[in-house]
Structure 1
Amino acid sequence: MFQLIITPETALADEPLCIRATGLNPFQLVTLKASLTDEKGKLFQSRAFYKADEAGNIDLEQAAALGGDYMGIHPMGLFWSLKPVNPFRRLLKQDVINSPFYIQLDLYDSLLLEDSSKVQPKASRMIERWFSGPGLQRIPIREGRVRGAFFLPPGEGPFPGIIDLFGGIGGLIEFRASLLASRGFGVLALAYFAYEDLPSSLEEIDLEYFEEAANMLMHHPKIHKTGIGVISLCKGAEIGLAMAVHLEQVTATICINGTNAIHETQCKYRDLVIKPIPHQKEYTQIHVSGAINFRHIKGDPQADVNQQSILRVEKAQGHILFIVGEKDECLNSKVYAEQAMEQLRRNGKSNGTLLSYPGAGHLIEPPYSPLCFASWNPFFSRPLLWGGDSGYHAVAQEHSWKEIQKFFRCHLTPSSSKL
């Protein structure tokens, strides 16, 4: 009898699974299919073709996919290769506390080259992928000007404190913060526009708002007082780097596919005003998919005559980790990170590290998340191109997630309590 065996069937979304099929005929060709419906009712699917061994078994840790959405040995390939049935959808978990993503895995006894809706699977399993661990608290934040959600692990603490910033989509995005908190960090998912009573669009970067959030986090009784971390993506990484430069509370900063200068909207901190590099809209390109390619419109900060927009990374007192995808089609992020690293070197600083991933796109997220090649943004009439090749992107996400946690544990944990 055909069987699908998934271990564990309930797990955090960043945990790998063991997937096996048994009871097949020797050397039988089969299809494994994954299906997920997000909280807005949009369907994501993936499939791969496998061949049973002489005993009629398939173990995804050892068996190579022969085709479908990926090829080769990829134990979690059915997850990171999920694609939206309707294009330009990004898989984003909204409610990270009360419900998981449910993913159905189906086993078919033949190669399904076309629509499988009329074919019944021979075995099925429903698995749960959670974004919060047992005992995790989500605390809505409306303190002073600060808006967001604070995730606190169970236990007495104190915990390393982190601010989590996303980019130009605005609003409040919580899935990365809740997963990090499930790994033992106190994480503030921070909104800074298009959320509650915050400005509907980003007209100016006011670093005093982010300083207020940093102070609030550091003063929490269960957070280490020695400094906080920032994890940031895209426009958020631009802000994260500015925080590293200007805010003494920030001692460890991760910038994922960001820039090394202020672009489009000015940055203000007390009496300091950093004028932005304007977008070069004449360089906007349309990808064959119909998505906008923004990679070339940001411009090169080094070409700015006065270079007043460049962030003075050499003034950062803490450590900075730059994470870049070499197939980022939104920003020329590798060049920006290399410029920042060179700026540190020229000034005799060694507090920067660069992780560069071939084939990875813009939206580098926790492991086993599917690649989002392009998606809609509420502020544009066309979808935006993010780029990336799914297999290489998956490798980048799995590796960088481990490095992210290692970096924060190293630089946010007081030395007296380190193992």
Structure 2
Amino acid sequence: MVQLTATPTSTLVDEPVHIRATGLAPFRLVSLHASLQDEKGTFFHSWAYYRANEVGEVDLDHDPALGGDYTGVHPMGLFWSLKPEIFLARLCKRDVMNSPFKVQIKLYDKRLLPIQPKVTSAPTASVTVERWYVASGVTRIQVREGRIRASLFVPPGNGQLPGVIDMFGGSGGLLESRASLLASHGFVCLALAHCGFEDLPIQPEKIDLEYFEEAANFLLKHPKVLGPGIGLVSVCRGAEIGLSMAIYLKQVVASVLINGPNFPISVPHVYHDLILKPRSSSIELIRSNSYGLVDFYRVFDESNHEESHSAFPIEKAKGHFLFIVGEADKNINGKVFAKNAIEQLKRHGKNNWTLLSYPGAGHMIEPPYTPLCIASAVRGVCSTIHWGGEVVPHAAAQEHSWKEIQNFLRKHLTPVVTGQI
């Protein structure tokens, strides 16, 4: 009897699943399909075909895919190669607390051609895997204190834990998927909105660092948070703000900056009487590819501008930096901007940085096994922004960087306990 198993069948979305088929005819060619429906009703699909071994088994931990959406040994390939039916759709979990994504995995006993990715016939075997964004016991607290618009995720148990602010980019809203996962791994995490949410403007006229200072102080005052400083994880516009926070806010001591600039990109940053003006851009360098996807990464001068007034004075930061760069990013030339920031630190005798630069990875570097989002819309900016990336190296970058992010935050937010003589 053919059996298809996935172990475990319910787990966090950033944890691997062991998929195995047994009871097949020896050397039989089979097709494995995965699908899920997001909260907006959009379907995502992936598929690959495999050949059973001499005892009629296929084990994705060891056996190579022979074709489909990927080839080679990729135990989680069916998950990170999921593609939307609707062009430009991004897989994004909105309700992280009450429901998982349910991934259906089906086995068919024949190879399906790429022109037939959807199957209406009954599968030979199937299994459903629940992919959660929050671990049992993590609590979510809606934060509407002063100007702060956020959600706080607190792990269970006694004792204090590192505190982290999590921010996304210019698409706005309040995204909680990464913050809830960080809380599931032992961080008190504040998912902080900074534009396009409730009373926050879609396109702010300035970046007011006092708003972010208010959020940092709020997090540090929580009895569960281990001080004296906090960390942050940020991407794109969020990383631009994160770099500014790390320089001017003493509360921020460990900053993860994913594909961000080292200068203000469109509006000034303001902190009390300080005003940092944005760098000028060359909109004539915006490009559109053959699919109509818009590339922005050329619009800023790529030469070294650390001595110019527009670059953030990163050398003033007291904390530590983890720069994460996707070298195939088509939205921001993060490789150049991270290099410029690091050279600026070096010239001032600083070694408070680590760089992770991933060939083939795009802009949207997210937690492991998240499908590559190659393009989507940003309200008020563009309806077809090209994020870039190649599926396989992007997936590898996400898996590696997620571990490094957690290690970095623990290293710099958890005090070292020395032995007593």
Q: In the aligned structure 1, how far is the partner of 2:173 from the partner of 2:414?
A: 30
Normalised to the residue count of structure 1, the TM-score between the two structures is: 0.97
How far apart are 1:364 and its partner, in Å?
A: 0.2
User: What amino acid is aligned across from residue 51 of structure 1 in structure 2?
Assistant: R
SS in 1 for 2:50: strand
Aligned runs of 1:6-405 on 2, under 5 Å? 6-113=6-113, 114-300=116-302, 302=304, 307-405=308-406
Partners of 1:280 and 1:297 within 8 A in 2: yes
How far apart are 1:373 and its partner, in Å?
A: 0.6
Which residue matches 2:2? 2
Across the two proteins, how many residue pairs are aligned to each other? 417
Q: In the aligned structure 2, how far is the partner of 1:63 from the partner of 1:49?
A: 11
SS in 1 for 2:95: coil
Which residue matches 1:416? 417
Partners of 1:170 and 1:191 within 8 A in 2: yes
Can you list the C-alpha shifts for 1:271-306, whole angstroms capped at 9, x where unaligned? 1000001331111100222111111113337359x7
Q: In the aligned structure 1, how far is the partner of 2:201 from the partner of 2:81?
A: 36
Q: In the aligned structure 1, how far is the partner of 2:68 from the partner of 2:33?
A: 10
Q: In the aligned structure 1, how far is the partner of 2:223 from the partner of 2:301?
A: 43
Partners of 1:301 and 1:309 within 8 A in 2: no
SS in 1 for 2:323: strand
Partners of 2:202 and 2:379 within 8 A in 1: no
What RMSD, in angstroms, separates the aligned Cα atoms of the two structures? 1.3
Q: In the aligned structure 1, how far is the partner of 2:150 from the partner of 2:118?
A: 42
Provide runs of 4+ in structure 1 moved above 6 Å. Answer: none
**Closer, same or farther in 2 for the Cα pair 1:404/1:197, shift >3 Å?**
same
Partners of 1:261 and 1:301 within 8 A in 2: no
Give the share of equivalent positions with the same residue, in percent.
Answer: 54
SS in 1 for 2:360: coil
SS in 2 for 1:302: coil
Normalised to the residue count of structure 2, the TM-score between the two structures is: 0.97
How far apart are 1:104 and its partner, in Å?
A: 0.2
How far apart are 1:417 and its partner, in Å?
A: 8.5
Deviates more, 1:119-128 or 1:103-112: 119-128
Q: Which stretches in structure 1 are left out of the alignment for 5+ residues?
A: none
Partners of 1:147 and 1:190 within 8 A in 2: yes
How far apart are 1:205 and its partner, in Å?
A: 0.5
Q: In the aligned structure 2, how far is the partner of 1:187 from the partner of 1:135?
A: 14
SS in 2 for 1:226: strand
Partners of 2:83 and 2:371 within 8 A in 1: yes
How far apart are 1:43 and its partner, in Å?
A: 0.6
Can you list the C-alpha shifts for 1:157-204, whole angstroms capped at 9, x where unaligned? 311000001001001010000000000000000001111112232221
Can you list the C-alpha shifts for 1:19-51, whole angstroms capped at 9, x where unaligned? 000111000001000001000000100000100
User: What amino acid is aligned across from residue 298 of structure 2 in structure 1?
Assistant: H
SS in 1 for 2:140: strand
**Closer, same or farther in 2 for the Cα pair 1:170/1:368, shift >3 Å?**
same
How far apart are 1:115 and its partner, in Å?
A: 4.2
Q: In the aligned structure 2, how far is the partner of 1:52 from the partner of 1:2?
A: 12
Q: In the aligned structure 1, how far is the partner of 2:392 from the partner of 2:119?
A: 26
How far apart are 1:226 and its partner, in Å?
A: 1.6
Q: In the aligned structure 2, how far is the partner of 1:413 from the partner of 1:124?
A: 44
Q: In the aligned structure 1, how far is the partner of 2:303 from the partner of 2:269?
A: 15
Q: Which stretches in structure 2 are left out of the alignment for 5+ residues?
A: none
Q: In the aligned structure 1, how far is the partner of 2:152 from the partner of 2:418?
A: 24
User: What amino acid is aligned across from residue 242 of structure 1 in structure 2?
Assistant: S
User: What amino acid is aligned across from residue 266 of structure 1 in structure 2?
Assistant: P
Partners of 1:226 and 1:414 within 8 A in 2: no
Q: In the aligned structure 2, how far is the partner of 1:192 from the partner of 1:86?
A: 28
How far apart are 1:380 and its partner, in Å?
A: 3.7
User: What amino acid is aligned across from residue 79 of structure 1 in structure 2?
Assistant: F
